[in-house]
């Protein structure tokens, strides 16, 4: 596709672990870029040395790679606006230079107010029912006054001089939005120690990187008027040609109990999904439904199909609810679409972690797994569940254990006598196949002892697989083999 000129960005701060809200933002930007034939820029906003970490930076790159959300410009791949890490851009003096130009041109000014002075005036403003934001105290200091304050040794921050008017934009998701002038006071661009703040570096980089569409979470809505004002100033001093990106604010994601999904909720962390065995395909599929819809009730699709269909008019401004059950059901649907050998490959790391197999798998284990996968594929909702479902096939006899609750429920005296009858019925059968195992057990337990199938096969299932819920019983016994099956029946009896 020819380059459409559309440029979007995903620009997380590397603090903590990647979470699903962040992934949703990345995904929508990626999909919009792919849909429009635009460019997906990945930028790291790591100017807060107190909170940012290298581990978190690595985890972000790893997360996007795991999800195969490929970026066109950014860390590792580079691009025309390198570097894409703000800490490096800061070292190059990019922000200090822009700040100086803003100050020299009068778009920004030094503020010498101390935190105590600010707090005192804020309290007074509240008392008098005036807006509590910065009151412009230092806006019109003369050069002599500034020199005097500096000579006193007062530190100063740099503030943007906000034009005195309301702020409006046509939000790509929420439609026309207005902020009154007094809601947006002169804000800080540089700390007293010279460190640039998010309020400066984020719009400056969006401007320098030619970002045309800013798609980000609704929590950032209130910073948009400040960014519009800064864009205007950047145009006036010639950092940009005066163009301003379009903004679209993606709806909140709500968790349990209709509270905003918090970074602290365990199921908000991307790593949790990886550990449980969610497929990246499924997670992307589910996250794309958080605030966007394909229409016609289509809820199962690949990220390529998402990219084909992704338009912003289908993004809803209403909060989206994160529904783990639905996410898990979609994961199950995705698992069922996998070719069995692909599924087997993806299960292996979970079996390794559970200590059931070691890599590289030997041929008998590989064959066993290949035969077992079709038996469980229909029933699995996460890859992690494979451990419980096929573990009984892979565990050595000395490591095989019965689920205590299932054993207690099914292997009481009656259950054990059923197991004894099963053992006897199977001991002499000429061939060990699913059909002959089923035939012998039905003859002995259902026809012979007059038991209902559930009563007959429940204890046998627990004895052989260790659990009440397992893959189909007769197939499982065939795979487990005659010797190991009989051994387990004898042990349970
Ligand atoms: N670094 C900011 C954050 O992670 C980016 C916000 C934005 O998209 O403008 O919240
Ligand atoms: Zn001041």
Question: Mind listing the pLDDT tens digit for each residue in 291-309?
Answer: 999 988 899 999 999 999 9
Ligand 1 atom closest to Cα of 10? 8
Stretch 133-146: mean pLDDT, rounded? Answer: 96
- Minimum-distance ligand to the CA of 202? 1
- Confidence (pLDDT) at 257: 79
Task: Give me the mean pLDDT over the 396-412 stretch.
Answer: 92
Q: How far is the CA of 198 from the centre of ligand 2 (A)?
A: 20
CATH of 404-492 among 1.10.10.350, 3.30.420.240, 3.40.50.300, 2.30.30.30: 1.10.10.350
- What residue spans in the chain does CATH classification 1.10.10.350 cover? 404-492
Rounded CA separation 86/94 (Å): 9
The strand pairing partners of 85, in sequence order, are 44
How far is CA 15 from its chain centroid? Answer: 14
The stretch 455-470 carries a mean pLDDT of 95
Nearest CA to ligand 1 atom 3: 12
280 neighbors 67 (Cβ within 8 angstroms): yes
Instruction: Give pLDDT tens digits for 73-110.
Output: 999 999 999 999 999 999 999 999 999 999 999 999 99
Distance 97 CA to ligand 2 centre (A): 22
Q: For residue 153, what are the contacts with CB-CB under 8 A and spacing of at least 6?
A: none
CA-to-CA separations, 322 to 32, 209, 452, in angstroms, rounded: 22, 33, 43
The CA distances from residue 415 to 207, 344, 461, 471, in Å, are 73, 34, 11, 20
Report the run of H or E that residue 169 belongs to, with start and end.
strand 167-171
Q: What are the residue ranges of CATH 1.10.8.70 in the chain? A: 338-394
Determine the residue of 57, 85, 216 to mutate for testing ligand 1's pocket, defined as the one with the most ligand atoms within 8 A of the Cβ atom: 216
Of 263, 303, 326, 452, catalytic: 263
Q: In the chain, what percentage of residues exceed pLDDT 90?
A: 93
Ligand 1 atom with the shortest distance to the CA of 45: 1
In this prediction, residue 189 carries a pLDDT of 98
Residue 372 has pLDDT above 80, yes or no: yes
Which class is domain 93-250?
alpha beta
Q: Give the separation between CA 44 and CA 42, rounded to whole angstroms.
A: 7
- This model's pTM is above 0.85: yes
Q: Which atom of ligand 1 is nearest to the CA of 227?
A: 9
Q: Which residues line ligand 1 (CB under 6 A)?
A: 11-13, 45, 202, 216, 220
Closest CA to 19 of 268, 291, 322, 216: 268
**Distance from residue 81's CA to the centre of ligand 2 (Å):** 35
pLDDT at site 49: 87
Does the pLDDT at position 59 exceed 60?
yes
**How remote is the CA of residue 428 from the centroid of ligand 1, in Å?**
70
Read off the pLDDT of each residue in 325-331 and give the average, rounded to a whole number. Answer: 97
- CATH fold of 338-394 reads Helicase, Ruva Protein; domain 3 (1.10.8)
> Considering the domain 7-88+253-321 in this protein, what is its CATH number?
3.40.50.620
Residue range(s) of every CATH 3.40.50.620 domain in the chain: 7-88+253-321
- Every domain of the chain with CATH number 3.90.800.10 lies at 93-250
Nearest CA to ligand 1 atom 8: 216
Residue 361 has pLDDT above 60, yes or no: yes
Residue nearest to atom 2 of ligand 1 (CA): 12
Query: Considering just the CA atoms, what is the radius of gyration of the chain in Å?
Result: 31
Q: What whole-number distance in Å separates Cα of residue 437 and Cα of residue 430?
A: 10
Helical pair 94-104 and 198-208, crossing angle rounded to 10 deg: 100
Ligand 1 site-directed mutation target among 27, 30, 45, most atoms within 8 Å of CB: 45
* Ligand 1 mean position, distance from CA 199 (Å): 10
Confidence class for position 1, pLDDT limits 50, 70, 90:
low
Residue 263 annotated as catalytic: yes
| Predicted local confidence at residue 266, as pLDDT | 83
Which bin fits 5, alpha (ψ -120 to 50), beta or left (φ > 0)? left
Q: What is the mean pLDDT of the chain?
A: 96
Q: What percent of the chain is modeled with pLDDT above 70?
A: 100
């Amino acid at each position: 596709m020819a380059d459409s000129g559309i440029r979007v960005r995903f620009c997380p701060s590397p603090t903590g672990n990647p979470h699903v809200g962040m992934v949703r933002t990345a995904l929508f930007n990626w999909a919009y870029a792919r849909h429009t034939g635009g460019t997906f820029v990945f930028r790291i906003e790591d100017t807060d040395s107190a909170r940012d970490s290298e581990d978190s930076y690595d985890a972000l790159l790893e997360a996007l790679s795991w999800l195969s959300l490929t970026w066109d410009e950014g860390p590792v791949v580079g691009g025309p606006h390198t570097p894409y890490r703000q800490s490096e851009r800061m070292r190059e003096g990019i922000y200090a230079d822009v700040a100086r130009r803003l100050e020299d041109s009068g778009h920004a000014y030094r503020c010498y107010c101390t935190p105590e002075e600010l707090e005192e005036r804020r309290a007074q403003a509240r008392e008098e029912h005036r807006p509590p934001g910065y009151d412009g105290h230092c806006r019109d200091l003369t050069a002599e006054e500034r020199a005097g304050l500096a000579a006193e040794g007062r530190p100063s921050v740099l503030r943007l001089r906000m034009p005195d008017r309301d702020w409006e934009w046509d939000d790509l998701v929420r439609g026309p939005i207005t902020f009154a002038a007094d809601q947006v006071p002169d804000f800080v661009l540089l700390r007293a120690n010279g460190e640039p703040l998010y309020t400066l570096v984020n719009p400056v980089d969006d401007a320098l990187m030619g970002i045309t569409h800013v798609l980000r979470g609704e929590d950032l809505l209130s910073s948009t008027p400040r960014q519009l004002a800064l864009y205007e100033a950047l145009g006036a001093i010639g950092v940009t040609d005066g163009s301003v990106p379009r903004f679209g604010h993606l709806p909140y994601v709500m968790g349990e109990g209709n509270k905003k999904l918090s970074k602290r909720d365990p199921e908000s962390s991307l790593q949790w999904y990886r550990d449980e065995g969610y497929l990246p395909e499924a997670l992307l599929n589910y996250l794309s439904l958080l605030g966007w819809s394909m229409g016609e009730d289509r809820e199962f699709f690949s990220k390529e199909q998402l990219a084909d269909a992704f338009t912003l008019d289908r993004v809803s401004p209403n909060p989206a609810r994160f529904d783990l059950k639905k996410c898990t059901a979609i994961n199950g649907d995705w698992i069922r679409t996998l070719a069995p050998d692909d599924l087997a490959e993806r299960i292996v790391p979970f079996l390794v972690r559970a200590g059931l197999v070691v890599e590289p798998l030997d041929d008998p284990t590989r064959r066993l797994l290949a035969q077992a996968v079709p038996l469980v594929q229909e029933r699995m909702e996460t890859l992690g569940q494979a451990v419980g479902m096929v573990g009984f096939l892979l565990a050595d006899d000395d490591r095989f254990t019965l689920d205590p609750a299932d054993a207690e429920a099914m292997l009481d005296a009656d259950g054990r006598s059923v197991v004894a009858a099963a053992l006897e019925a199977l001991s002499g059968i000429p061939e060990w196949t699913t059909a002959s195992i089923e035939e012998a057990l039905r003859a002995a337990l259902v026809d012979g002892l007059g038991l209902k199938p559930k009563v007959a096969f429940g204890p046998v299932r627990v004895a052989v697989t260790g659990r009440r819920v397992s893959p189909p019983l007769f197939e499982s016994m065939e795979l487990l083999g005659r010797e190991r099956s009989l051994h387990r029946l004898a042990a349970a009896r």
